[in-house]
Amino acid sequence: MQSFRTELENPLVEKDIIELEQKIRAFREGKIPDEKFRSLRLARGVYGQRQQGVQMVRIKLPYGKMTFAQWKRISDVSDEFSIGNLHLTTRQDVQIHYVSLERTPELWSLLEEESITMREACGNTVRNVTGSDIAGVDPEEPFDITPYAHAIFEYFLRKPFGQELGRKFKIAVSSSEKDTALVFMHDLGAIPRVKVVDGKEVRGFKVVVGGGLGAQPFLAHTTHEFLEEDLLIPYIEAVIRVFDRNGERNSRHKARIKFLINQIGIDAFNELVAAEQKAVSVKTYKIDRSAHAATALPSGVLPAGDIKIKNPLNFELWKKTNVKEQKQKGYYLAFVRVPNGNISTEISRRLIEKLQGVIADDVRVTITQNLQFRYIKPEHLGYVYSVLEAENLAAPGYGSAADIVSCPGTDTCNLGISNSTSLAVVLSSLIEDEYPELLLNEDIAIRISGCMNSCGQHGIGTIGFHGSSLKVKDKVVPAVQVLIGGGNLGGGEGRIADKVLKVPSKRAPEVVRYVINDFNANKQGDETLLQYTFRVGDRYYYELLKPLTNTATLEAEEYIDWGHVETFATAIGVGECAGVMIDLVSTLIFEAEEKIDLAISSIENGAYADSIYYTYAGFINTAKALLLNHQVQCNTQTGILKDFDAHFTEKGLYSGTDSFKELVLQINKNEPGAEFASSYLQQAKDFVTYAKAYKEEAVTA
């Protein structure tokens, strides 16, 4: 592969990109094991696809914000390195597919020229910070959470304790009690609140921890009804550090923070977080609200010529469902339904060209895989609609049952079992054609995932589906697991959908018809479908839908998945959502030495807290290497410390201390400072020297 030069202003970014290129080269030359390289590239937003030899690149957009220049740059990059499509995700990222691995450093450097990053977009890291897409314009928000969400993003980017977690860590910040960022299903979430203390308004957040979907969903626990704003980031840091040290690392299916909290209990978890406060980098962190100045208003100058609206009736419906009044009087925001979250680069450029000056230079990707435009004058709504109509993006019903969330499924994902995107198109058309009244109703959410991992958020759908299969005699039938009754209750509370039964995929439309028709026939007053599901219970839906499970009536087309012409066959690869651990002794010691080098650099730069954490990681990697050399399987980091004492210290194989665990856990018993950082580092250097000698002696013995 050919190397390239990058001349970015940020030396950390430039170092990152050059390192990625060097690691790719070393991997191709066989100098880095596949598992180790996978972990490294995932932390830099490069994700393996179902199709061999190409990568998906995930672009990190904090709280979903793009400027016009950033949107255009992402489009340009997609054309040059990919296939001219942008995929909007439920975590407000943008993904491009079919990228050559060798070209990812160059792609990254071009994005960074417009301050767009891929760093920690995938892998066992602190992922993109989700924020309410209406933040800053929400009439119900106590205050604008945008500066806080951005500060969280900036603070945790490249932090040493967030690089090699047991699993990914997801943060969400909502703008109001409506919880439009769905904090209840996140590892950590925050909702803004204010209270008056001594006559002064004080800002703070309700904080929840330990939510998550996937195959085993959990609702988050409330840890604070009100945490003052300056304490939010130190608290998040303490939570992540506790998760890093105590979280599962052997079984990736049990490695999210929700499992740790479920295992030890929320009270014990809170105690660990409180004990960690002494070691965090800062005790308070004041958010610079002025760092995010008020959005520059559009000029409001429309292009010359008549506004041509082809369907005036649809325009009126669009205004009812897709347009909302901002808290800034005289301005409106408009939501754009983007089918399956896929928008071409050609359409993106035309929208940028035609809408600049009419909407604000602040485009938001929503958590429902759509787009939002803001600061539109009421007299300009017709023009905006006409532009969208010309691009077939003027569908009404934003947030309705027709506005379906789905993951890519078998289109590109290794873990996909069935085709979620084609099913989403079918069900969306069903709602629009057979239940048009539901376009005005935001109470029903349909969510589809290609597998049980819930990237399409099926676990919180009022009606949810995830990909599966059924064995019928000697054949396999594409199927969906049906879930009913999930949803957002507001205030950081939610409800997980109940698994009901499994039906052939081609019968999913009938599931929707059964559920909606039954609801329309039996609801009471203004009861919502979610409220109705509470009342009737999941067993009710099992009996209601059971006729659809009869495989004796299968027709030939039901052996073929949506969007396919060939007979269905399961073909599941190895997922990369959480990366893979490396259990090679020599690699672990090499990594420990890398951590020590980073600790030295951090001390030189006065970043004592970072240095201490790099040193801690050096201790852990080295101890793990020695334990694996003794065939001792390692789990949590605290388990490594305990096992090292049992197998080395207590048996006299290591005499550097009476308790290795106490030596290493000095990390959370000392304030970050030059003296402790230096002494702790020296102890780690001595330990690595011991480990290398021990390993060499074991080899020659």
DSSP string, 196-265: EETTEEEEEEEEEE--B-SSS-BPPEEEEEEEEGGGHHHHHHHHHHHHHHHS--S-GGG-SHHHHHHHH-
d(CA 643, CA 107): 44
pLDDT in tens, 557-572: 999 888 887 666 655 4
Name the nearest CA neighbour of 445 among 489, 409, 403. 403
Segment 230-245 shows an average pLDDT of: 97
Q: Cα 408–436–538 angle (5° rounding)?
A: 65
Contacts of 318 (CB under 8 A, 6+ apart): 385, 394, 395, 396
Find the range with the poorest average confidence among 42-46, 54-58, 180-184, 544-548: 42-46
**Encoded tokens for 265:** 């209990």
Q: Which amino acid is at 156?
A: F
Which residue shows structure tokens 């203390």? 197
Name the nearest CA neighbour of 51 among 20, 83, 26. 83
Query: Considering only the top CATH level, what class is 128-293?
Result: alpha beta
Contact between 74 and 65 (Cβ < 8 Å):
no
Q: Please, what is the average pLDDT of the chain?
A: 91
* Domain ranges within the chain, ordered by starting residue: 1-123, 128-293, 312-390, 405-559, 585-700
Contacts of 448 (CB under 8 A, 6+ apart): 404, 405, 406, 407, 409, 420, 423, 424, 427, 456, 458, 461, 464, 465, 466, 480
CATH 3.30.70.3270 fits 312-390, yes or no: no
Q: Same topology for domains 128-293 and 405-559, yes or no?
A: yes
More confident residue, 563 or 76: 76
Give Rg (Cα) of the chain: 26
CATH of domain 405-559: 3.30.413.10
pLDDT in tens, 328-380: 999 999 999 999 999 999 999 999 999 999 999 999 999 999 999 999 999 99
User: Does 1 score more than 60 pLDDT?
Assistant: no
Segment 13-29 shows an average pLDDT of: 89
Q: 436 burial class (0-12, 13-18, 19+ CB within 10 angstroms)?
A: middle
**Encoded tokens for 312:** 């005036």
d(CA 442, CA 316): 17
Name the nearest CA neighbour of 625 among 657, 662, 593. 593
Strands 487-490 and 475-484: unpaired
The pTM of the full predicted model, rounded to 2 decimals, is 0.91
Which residue shows structure tokens 């314009």? 137
Segment 428-438 shows an average pLDDT of: 97
Contacts of 430 (CB under 8 A, 6+ apart): 509, 512, 513
Query: Considering only the top CATH level, what class is 585-700?
Result: mainly alpha
Segment 457-465 shows an average pLDDT of: 95
CATH of domain 1-123: 3.30.70.2500
**Encoded tokens for 167:** 């699993």
